[in-house]
Chain A
């Protein structure tokens, strides 16, 4: 069965510092992978997605993620965090034979000035 693990419940970084949010998945075939961001009081917004091809994908707001099949990971990165990046981040996995996405439990990012 598909599953997604986000090991970090809460991360705190200083503004301007680099960021990496971890995501590990379990799926037998090549997964479709997504990162969503949820700002307070808002719905989830798609940051980026990976289907196939180049394992480094670029997203909105300066985020990128790298698919590493050998590690079953799809970590989200940003070189320099802005205070407006404070939000909750969700990793999700899907597949070609289903409409369902499996979401991780989320990582809450706090940014200090």
Chain B
């Protein structure tokens, strides 16, 4: 099993540009989570999906952020337009479902907006 795969690993973009982060969860996992990690705020849950349906997006900071999960093997997190304060490491995690399974995290995407 290749684990949770995120791309790209690093992204540098200019303010105002659109950024798309990608995630492939572990096959068979039915829950997918997007987190953002910064020094100031720590680990923040942005949104999570269950069976491809968004369940809780209360952590999405503002309308510039959107996430989709068109099928069980792919999800995207889009920021449009990007701002310097969006600079962070974005993690995707997947789970077999239920609070007792825990998550498997990807290696993250380090986003820098200049």
Enumerate chain A interface residues (CB-CB to B < 8 A): 32, 34, 36, 42-46, 49, 51, 90, 92, 94-101, 103, 105-106
Contact = CB atoms under 8 A, between A and B. Distances in A.
The 4 closest A-B pairs by CB, nearest first: A94-B99, A43-B105, A44-B105, A95-B99
B102 interface: yes
Interface of B: 4, 31, 33, 42-43, 45, 48, 50, 55-56, 91, 93, 95, 97-100, 102-108
Contact of A94 (B55, B100, B107): B100
A63 to B, nearest CB: 15
Given A32-B102, A42-B108, A44-B91, 12 more contacts: A32-B99, A36-B105, A43-B107, A92-B102, A94-B102, A95-B99, A99-B95, A99-B99, A100-B56, A101-B102, A101-B103, A103-B43
A52 B31 CA distance: 23
Contact of A101 (B55, B91, B99, B107): B99
Contacts of B107: 42-43
B72 to A, nearest CB: 15
A34 B45 CA distance: 17
Given A94-B99, A95-B99, A100-B48, A43 B43 contact: no
